[in-house]
Amino acid sequence: MRVIDISMPIHEGMETYRNDPARRPRIAAVRRFPEGGVNESELSMNVHTGTHLDAPLHMVDGGEGIDAIDPARLVTRCRVVDLTGVRGPVRRRDLEPLDVAAGAFVLLKTANSFTDVDGDATVTLAADGAMLYCNSRLAAMLQIPLEKLIGTELSSFVAPAHQALFAAQLAKPAQQDVSLEVDLISGEGTLVPALVSRSAHVTSSAGSAVGLVITDLTQQKKNVEEIIAAEKLARSIIEQAGEAIVVCNEDGRIIRASRLAHQLCGANPLSKPFNDQFHLRIMESRDPFSIFTTLQGNLIESAQVELKQSDRQLFHLILNATPLKSVQDHIVGCVVTLTDFTERKRAEEELWESQERLREAHRLAHIGVWQWAADYVADTAPAGDVRWAVEIAAPFRQVSTCGHHAFPPGDAFPLFCIAMRELLDGRAFE
């Protein structure tokens, strides 16, 4: 014997008697990993919500409670009676022709069988397209009272631009799945984007009935628009950034790259492994850099790296790499920024080399270095402000007074200056 569980899933948005929100289940987390050490939830709900059994005590004062019913009686063969074509409530005249034996278990399949689909709107259509049943979700979507929807044709709420598509899809054979996006017209005249899905036809005593599930796409469309806008903004920020920016997925493949990143790479790096496109070496340790260091959760800040392209050009870069995490705190990728300081590095090296040469010249000079006035005349004091190195001032007994330089009679300095002038003029001096 095939056993079928007819219990409805329990969730906070499920259908309730007369759509009373107070009867809906409430599920709360009491403890969760890792803080709580265990997972524990609390469930609060009306006992007549969802699939349930009414004990005599429910309707009869002094009747037996649910504890008096043997659970073994609840697992048995049963008869399913299709009443999906019945408009409105099920009445005695609908049941009398069924010839149900005394004591038999009977399940009545009504238009309600198409309800409670994850909070979506549900509709049962008659053969002529009139709504035999719809739930409150459709009434909320269309902003029309529920009682005014029953008996009207669903197609009358489909936007004119989608009427032909709607009719053609519903005319397909019952064995084919139907799913289409249409705009519905609300009671206020606004368009409501919706996804209409058809379940299989159900043959009933009243003819052919069609079950539809209608999903409101308003929020989904809005989310898509926001995602597109955010994507455009992110792309604009990446393109306008003054540094190379690379975004990788959890596999280390490049999914976003700025214009400067393309230039550094020398080719289009998209969809390719980061490590294959950017051969980076950490300058301090000389170790190669791997993107998986960051994908394992490690934050890299202001690391100096080298990048050598195939044309042997060498770049000096400042590397920053940050993991990207999901709402569940899972690493889903990373962002890498590369700031080019090659020119600054080259200027620093040239300055250092110049300073080294100057220090070496000072070290090797036996007398020193000085500046002298171009209009110096022998046997007179040098004009202008002559600055002397310490090594020169000592042997020539320089005397400094009042911002210019004077030398005692017979001093060796004038003779030295004459020698320098002869040398500058290209003549030998002895």
What residues does each domain of the chain span?
17-111, 115-216, 241-344, 365-424
pLDDT attached to residue 398: 44
In order of 31, 124, 139, 271, the CA distances from 15 in angstroms are: 28, 16, 14, 46
Do residues 124 and 132 lie in contact, with contact meaning Cβ atoms separated by under 8 Å? yes
Rounded CA-CA distance 404/407 in Å is 10
Rounded CA-CA distance 307/290 in Å is 13
Q: What is the pTM of this model?
A: 0.40
Do residues 396 and 408 lie in contact, with contact meaning Cβ atoms separated by under 8 Å? no
Query: How many Cα neighbours within 13 Å face the side chain of 207?
Result: 12
The backbone torsions φ and ψ at residue 106, rounded to the nearest 5 degrees and listed phi first, read -130, 135
Do residues 261 and 241 lie in contact, with contact meaning Cβ atoms separated by under 8 Å? no
pLDDT attached to residue 206: 44
Give residue 283's identity as a one-letter amino acid code. M
In 3D, which of 256, 242, 246 has the Cα closest to residue 340? 242
In order of 220, 263, 265, 269, 272, the CA distances from 277 in angstroms are: 37, 12, 6, 6, 7
In order of 201, 368, 413, 419, the CA distances from 398 in angstroms are: 116, 14, 8, 17
Do residues 154 and 123 lie in contact, with contact meaning Cβ atoms separated by under 8 Å? yes
pLDDT attached to residue 402: 34
In order of 14, 17, 49, the CA distances from 20 in angstroms are: 10, 6, 10
Rounded CA-CA distance 288/369 in Å is 47
Q: What is the CATH number of domain 115-216?
A: 3.30.450.20
Rounded CA-CA distance 321/291 in Å is 8
Q: What is the CATH number of domain 241-344?
A: 3.30.450.20
Tell which CATH architecture fits domain 17-111.
3-Layer(bba) Sandwich (3.50)
pLDDT attached to residue 183: 95
Go through the chain and tell me how many residues it has.
Answer: 430
The backbone torsions φ and ψ at residue 66, rounded to the nearest 5 degrees and listed phi first, read -65, -25
pLDDT attached to residue 89: 79
pLDDT attached to residue 328: 77
pLDDT attached to residue 378: 47
pLDDT attached to residue 414: 59
Rounded CA-CA distance 246/338 in Å is 8
Rounded CA-CA distance 44/66 in Å is 19
pLDDT attached to residue 194: 93
The backbone torsions φ and ψ at residue 23, rounded to the nearest 5 degrees and listed phi first, read -90, -5
For 299-353, the DSSP string reads: -EEEEEEEEE-TT--EEEEEEEEEEEE-TTS-EEEEEEEEEE-HHHHHHHHHHHH
b/e for 112-138, b at 16 or more Cβ within 10 A? bbbbbbeebbbbbbbeeebbbbbbebb
List average pLDDT for each run of 10 residues in the chain, which is 430 residues long. Answer: 79 75 84 82 90 90 91 85 78 87 86 61 85 86 90 94 92 82 94 84 52 87 79 74 87 90 87 92 92 92 87 84 86 91 84 81 54 47 46 47 42 58 53
Which value, to the nearest 10 degrees, does the dihedral of the CA atoms of residues 126, 129, 132, 134 take?
130
Residue 342, sorted as left (phi over 0), alpha (psi -120 to 50) or beta, turns out to be: alpha
Name every residue whose Cβ is closer than 8 Å to that of residue 76 and which is 6 or more positions away in sequence: 105
CA 231 to chain centre: 9
Q: Give the other-Cβ count within 10 Å of 389's Cβ.
A: 14
pLDDT attached to residue 360: 72
Rounded CA-CA distance 246/278 in Å is 10
Pairing of the two strands 191-198 and 300-308: unpaired
The backbone torsions φ and ψ at residue 96, rounded to the nearest 5 degrees and listed phi first, read -60, -40
Rounded CA-CA distance 175/383 in Å is 111
Rounded CA-CA distance 230/369 in Å is 65
Same fold, 17-111 and 115-216: no
Residue 313, sorted as left (phi over 0), alpha (psi -120 to 50) or beta, turns out to be: beta
